[in-house]
Structures are given as C-alpha cells and as structure tokens.
Amino acid sequence: MLVLAFALQTPIVVPIYAAYGDPVGGGEDAPATSDQNRFVVWYGEAHAKGPVKLKVQTPSGNGHTLTVIVNKVTKTAMAADGVADFGSFDVEAGPVRVAARMDQTPGPAIDGLEATGDVRWNMSKRLNAASVHLRWPTEKGSDIRWFYNEATMITDPLWSYTMACGFARGYFGMQVNSPKERRIIFSVWDSGTEAVSRDKVADDNRVQLVMKGGNVLADSFGNEGTGGHSHLVLPWKTGQFVRFLVGCKPDGDKTLYAGYYMAPGDTSWRLVAAFRAPKDGGPLRDLYSFSENFGGDNGFRWRESAYGNGWIGLADGSWKPLTEAKFTTDGHGRTERWDFDAFVKDGRFHLRHGGFASGTAKYGDVLTLPKAAKRPKFDLPTLP
C-alpha cells in the first residue's frame, strides 16, 4: 500500500509518528518531543513553487503558543480549539522541512500536522531511509571464485552501512555504528529458514568459523536470518575507497567464504574472517552492493556512497569487469519513500538515499559505465 500523501486543496493530517526529533542539542537518536528545547519535524517534497497552508494539532494546548519553522521562515501562533493556525508559507520546489515546538515547558502534546498545498509528505512509521542496491549481472553458470570491489562513503551519517560485496550467502562492507566507532563487517548466512534466533538452528545448518584475522570479533547474528558474524573496528575515512575481496572454495556440499580488505595505504590483503557454509557447494553467485540506514531515527539525512572498479575472478584464472548494475530498492522504497537515486559519475556507480529529495533513477533501471577500469594489480591471498 502506498502511504505517500499529497496535500492539494484538501487538507491532510501528517501524523506525529511520521515526525523526527530535531537533532540540535538532542542527538540524532532523540525522540520527537514537544517542549521549548526540542522540535517535532515533518518532511515532505513540494512539486512546484507555491503556497503551503499549515496548522499544528494540539488538542490539549489551547492558550499555548507554538513556533513553526518552515525551511528558514519562522512563525508563532496560539493554539485554539485544538489547533494552531500558522497560515501560508511560500516554498520552493524540493524538500520541505516543518519543525514545530511548544513555547512552554512542559508543553501539551503535538498530535499532527494539517497541511494544504502541492506537497507529498512522509506518512510512514518507519523512519529510516529506504535501502538501495546495485545488482551485478553475471553470466549464468559462471564459476566465480573471487569478487573484488571498491567502496567509499561520500557522506557518513550515524547508522550507515555501505556494503561492497554481497552474495547469495553473505555480505561484506563498512559501517558507522556509533559516533566514535567504525567497523568492517563480514557475515555469512546459515542454511535453513530460521529468521530470528540462531539457538533454533540445527548444527548441520550452521556456518562454522574457520579462521579470523587479528583483532577481529567473531560471533553470530539473528533477526535478519541467522549466521556467522565478524567485524573489525577500523577508523576508515569518508571519501577514501576501501578495497574488498571475497574468495570462495567449494568443497563437496559446503563452501568456504573468506573476506579480505585493503585500507588506503595498505599493500597486502588482511583477513577479516573465513566461514564454512553448509548445504552449499557452489561458487559465488547473486552478486550485489547496497547502502543501508539501519538505525532508523535519522532517515532525514542524505546518504551517498560510491562503488567501482569491480571485478570477478573465475575458476579458470580469468577476470571480468563489472561495468553494469541494476538499481533496486527495498519495499520501503517501493511503497513509502521516494528519496533515493543511482547514477554513474567519474567512472563509479553512486547510490543516494534519504533527505526527502527525489532522484531520477527508477526501480529496475540499468546503469552502465562507459568503459571498464584497468584491473588493479594485487596478489591473491591463499584461502584457509
């Protein structure tokens, strides 16, 4: 069900659950509140320049004053009969930010935003930005043993995960997991259908840790499928490409998958971890990359990542460049959010999402590099 809402001449109510807390002074994870120290913030996008009429619902706030800031214009109004009427604001085409607060502490609750104008509003309870993907097509039946890719975060808001090397059994990339900590993450899924608790996964369905690199934490994960997880705390830098390499070694009905990285300035591969996946026995397949806002409360922030110089290595020793990618989004992007984009720039594939500004890419669009980059020179590591 599409939950985007358009306010033209008929007012609509944008609910409080679709609002964010103003990050100023409260941290990006602060909830939406309604006192003089905090703003409740709604986001939308105007299709064209024009007026937008706004009222803030506050049934218990009669006689209280409220302040609203629409983009950079500030107005104050008093609540009466359950609403504070702020009249009309002239907005330009593009993102619209409406921040409201009570001018008293403690203040009565703000219940919603009543809007009239040519604006579509985020109406979703899910506040994180839609996930966006690049699907790398390969020839059917390819015996792929190596997947090499380079990735960088161009912007790096908290709770961002840029995944460079995804495949049917796992994923490998870098994450901003706290204001002070960044990680390289490599994970491989178990077999079976358990989606939540690894305690329910039978031994013969569990991936097994074979080896891990120095200072790497290896454990397990659940709630998104289950499997083996490993991560390394690494202060990678925004704007610098980190090099990722996944190797695989089929062995009967199992496959070993190993993740290696090379940070800027490194000249050799460093192992994150190697896992043996049961009920597999095949090569690398279903290759993809993505950008994710996994934390939730700062989905209003614009994220951009770049991926490039991707290559696959086949069992016969040959290498093929990844010069084409299919753009997709998760269900959140297909039904609730519109703020995402994908494009090619300076020989790299770029993904953007968040920020409530629409892009030009559509689900299923195929992006192509004008030509392949030169394959980087490096020695392949020996798989465990």
Strands (E) in 190-253, as ranges, are: 208-212, 217-221, 227-233, 242-251
Instruction: Provide the token pair at 77.
Output: 């109004």
CA gap 117, 130 in Å, rounded:
25
pTM: 0.92
CA distance 19 to 15: 7
Q: Which position has the token pair 């093929």?
A: 320
Q: Confirm if 161 and 173 have CB atoms less than 8 A apart.
A: yes
5-121 carries CATH number 3.40.50.1000 = no
Beta bridge partners of 13: 114
pLDDT for position 69: 93
Phi, psi (rounded to 5 degrees) for 329: -130, 170
* CB-based contact 85:132 (threshold 8 Å): no
Instruction: Report which secondary-structure segment, H or E, holds 57.
Output: strand 50-57
Please give the average pLDDT of every successive group of 10 residues along the chain, which has 384 residues: 57 93 52 61 95 93 90 94 96 95 80 95 94 97 97 95 98 95 97 94 97 97 94 95 97 98 92 98 98 90 96 97 98 95 97 96 96 90 96
Domain map (residue ranges) of the chain: 5-121, 132-368
Residue 105 pLDDT: 73
